[in-house]
Chain A
Amino acid sequence: MSKFSIFIIPFCIGVLFLLVISVWKYWRWIKGFDKLQRAIIRKNIFTWRFLPAIWEAFREGLLHWRITKKNLLLGYMHRSLAFGWFLLIVVGAVQASLGYPDGHPLWIAIFYNYFEIEASPVDFRHAVFFANLMDGLLLYVLSGLFLAMFKKVWSRPLGMKRTTRHTLTDRVAKLSLWCIFPFRLLSEAVTSAIHGNGGFLVKWLGGVFESIGLADPALEYTCWMLYSIALGTFFCIMPFSRYMHIFTEVFLIYFRQLGVHDSDKKTGYTMFELSACSRCGICIDGCPLNRQLAITNVQGVYMLQSIRNLELQRNAEPIAENCLMCDRCVADCPVNLDLSIIRRQVRIKNKVAIDNKGGYEYLRNIHPFNSIGRVAYFGGCMSHLTPGITRSMEAIFNAVGQKYWFMDKDETICCGRPLLQQGFEHQAFELRRKNTEMIVNSKATMLITSCPICYQSFKKEYKLSIPVMHHTEYINMLISNGQLKLRKDDRKVTYHDPCELGRGCGIYDEPRNVLSATTTLLKTKEEREKSLCCGFNLGNPLLDIEQQTKIRDAARDNLLAPNPDTIVTACPMCKKAFTRAEDIPVKDIAEIVAGNIINP
């Protein structure tokens, strides 16, 4: 029996090309890792961290668990294509090695039905079972393919209001991918019409073909050739299209489990992230710019696409600038890409020319205060526009007898995060250095801040050796260790999760615990990870006040839906944004607590 036919050539060329290009790309990217990333990899590579990586790669790369949690049907679609195809390859390989115990070339597993044509193969046990299993798997993949086609026409039932506008390369890649499985079914059916092999599906279709006179060897050959060409085309175009995510995601998961993370400069790790984006478009629907302002070309998927694609690179900066940095897309992303960090890389790159002009003499005017045994309290710039928050915090400190140093009571510099978000890396660094020096020299034991922007900055961008707490965390701690006694009033409130506190730092439960202890907390439709941005986030320098107001109104409507007496938030910026809407009282969590203290 022959083990070769001319039609395998396109497939083989495709596989070889894919292999060479992938190895070359991955090698280049791994060489592009920066010093810290290399050190992390070296430290952790011989540990057990590969075990969770394998589990996550299986769960996300094949089962698409996070997408399934978003929408069952969408998850099924992705799973059937990924896991189904994976099983087709694995089971096909097993089938081929059983069918050819003396060894066989690679392509036998792919074109098995063409080479193994006996009607009821007796060469190995369970051959019929395997044939049926392969047909079942093909049917599974085809069902996903059908859903994918359906999604192209009408995506709503799959939980997506908007889908991505793809580039030409991506469309060609998708077309070739969509051709692979129908062609496989056709070729196997025609072979079955001639030889009567295959499982339940192929045999049935083969019977139909035979009855209408399609049992033609020339047709058979053409079909297999088309199948091979579809495979070859897909493999050749894959490294340059969004389908590069198939392998890249596995690498990314592994590096992430090793502890590697992105930095402020583009590195090899960023390249892995760029290619791990499958351009599924899930980031588009949640984006407040899309929902309230119908701006549909700046979301994470388009940003990554514009950085990766040479022709679109000129769009990268305008796209990167137009973003609230509310992290909603980061929460939605099924691949967990650091979209905001990559966006910031573009911003930093484009501010190089105007950053670092020197002139930091003014920083010398700020002096620390000896605070041994005290906690440092950093209200944040914005809290000075909402003095109720700082007054309440002072009342709380006094109620529990905590000595504190109000770091920015009169005047001090900003934490530096607003500058960093806009890409002024050097200037932000100078501010961070000064603040760090102040905090270290004060010898304070803990840093408490009222502004989630400062909180995220102190927590993630500073390297402080003392604990950093947002005031919601601090109040929650005081309540749980019994230092602060509060009475519960009969107000009904809804809580707004500030982007920087919730999605940014994962503080969801502490504010809710505090509010449950003092008021009746009502649930809202979109809260926690799905919370809506108030629109006044400092991330976006382009929006005008009308646009911000539109985004704010959507968030406000969500908070007002359960008919609360008061809206509560934990961010001076959000408070200011909602206060302007002037519907009902807007309070910061510290103000609610300060009003309900029953400490002696």
Chain B
Amino acid sequence: MKDFGFTISKGRSLDLDNLQQDRVDKLLELVPSYKLCIGCGGCTASCSAAGFTDFNIRRIHTSFLRARYDDLDKQLQKCMLCGKCTLVCPRGVNTRALIINMRRILAGVDSVTVNEEKGVVL
């Protein structure tokens, strides 16, 4: 990041140098309904996992867009895919697909894992 001589607390800075736009594009391509998200937080409010962990879909979604990939993978592991968030979403975002595909993208696994020679190896 360019140092302009100002001090900005890390939590408030937006480091776009880290941003991997292709990850966001890929996610939007795999889960088109993600475009509809209005960030209302209904998903987070209804979340089963949020009851006893700090799991917060809304924060994860913001972190993903703002290139804060640090502990995302570990956070996403706490999701139990129970589907409550999908059911309460007022915009019909497929939040479960969002989470599964975020995990795939973060792990560098394409949505379809195919070995060029052997096909999908079961």
Contacts and interface: CB of A to CB of B under 8 A. Distances in A.
Nearest to B101: A541
Given A365-B52, A538-B96, A541-B100, A314 B114 contact: yes
A334 interface: no
Contacts of A412: 48, 51-52
A346 B120 contact: yes
A314 B119 contact: yes
A152 interface: no
Contacts of B56: none
Interface string B76-112: 0110111110011000101011001001101101001
Interface residues of A, number: 49
B74 A385 contact: no
Nearest to B30: A542
A382 B82 CA distance: 8
A490 to B, nearest CB: 33
A384 B45 CA distance: 12
Contacts of B120: 313-317, 346, 349-350
The A contact surface, by secondary structure, is helix
A411 B48 CA distance: 7
A381 B83 contact: yes
B9 interface: no
Given A362-B52, A411-B51, A544-B32, A419 B81 contact: yes
Given A414-B48, A422-B100, A362 B78 contact: yes
Given A316-B120, A349-B121, A362-B78, A536 B48 contact: no
B119 A418 contact: no
Interface in B59-81: 73-74, 77-78, 80-81
Interface string A324-350: 000000000000000000000110011
Nearest to A427: B77
A311 B114 CA distance: 12
Given A382-B87, A411-B48, A418-B82, A353 B77 contact: no
A358 interface: yes
B107 A413 contact: no
A294 to B, nearest CB: 19
Interface string B15-45: 0000000000000000011000000000000
Contacts, number: 123
A381 B104 contact: no
A431 B84 contact: no
- B51, B83, B109, most chain A CB atoms within 10 A: B83
B80 A544 contact: no
B8 interface: no
Contact of A418 (B77, B78, B81): B81
A382 B96 contact: no
A122 interface: no
A213 interface: no
Interface in A364-385: 365-366, 381-382, 384-385
A410 B51 contact: yes
A545 interface: yes
A256 to B, nearest CB: 21
Nearest to A320: B120
B92 A545 contact: yes
B113 interface: yes
B122 A345 contact: yes
Contacts of A350: 113, 120
Contacts of A418: 80-83
A101 interface: no
B53 interface: yes
A480 B49 CA distance: 38
Contacts of B10: none
Contacts of B52: 362, 365-366, 411-413
Nearest to B106: A354
B118 interface: yes
Given A359-B77, A541-B100, A317 B84 contact: no
A382 B80 contact: no
A316 B46 CA distance: 34
A573 B114 CA distance: 34
A266 B32 CA distance: 33
Given A359-B77, A418-B83, A536-B87, A313 B51 contact: no
Going nearest first, the 7 A-B pairs with the smallest beta carbon separation are A411-B51, A313-B119, A545-B92, A414-B80, A381-B82, A362-B53, A418-B81
Interface of B: 32-33, 46, 48-49, 51-53, 73-74, 77-78, 80-84, 87-88, 92, 94, 96-97, 100, 103-104, 106-107, 109, 112-114, 118-122
Interface of A: 266, 307, 310-318, 345-346, 349-350, 353-354, 357-359, 362, 365-366, 381-382, 384-385, 410-414, 416, 418-419, 422, 424, 427, 431, 536, 538, 541-546, 573, 576
26 contacts: A307-B122, A311-B119, A314-B119, A316-B120, A346-B122, A354-B106, A357-B73, A359-B78, A365-B53, A381-B83, A384-B46, A422-B81, A422-B96, A422-B100, A424-B81, A431-B80, A536-B87, A538-B83, A541-B94, A541-B96, A542-B97, A544-B92, A544-B94, A545-B94, A546-B92, A576-B87
Given A362-B52, A544-B94, 5 more contacts: A317-B112, A354-B106, A357-B73, A385-B87, A416-B80
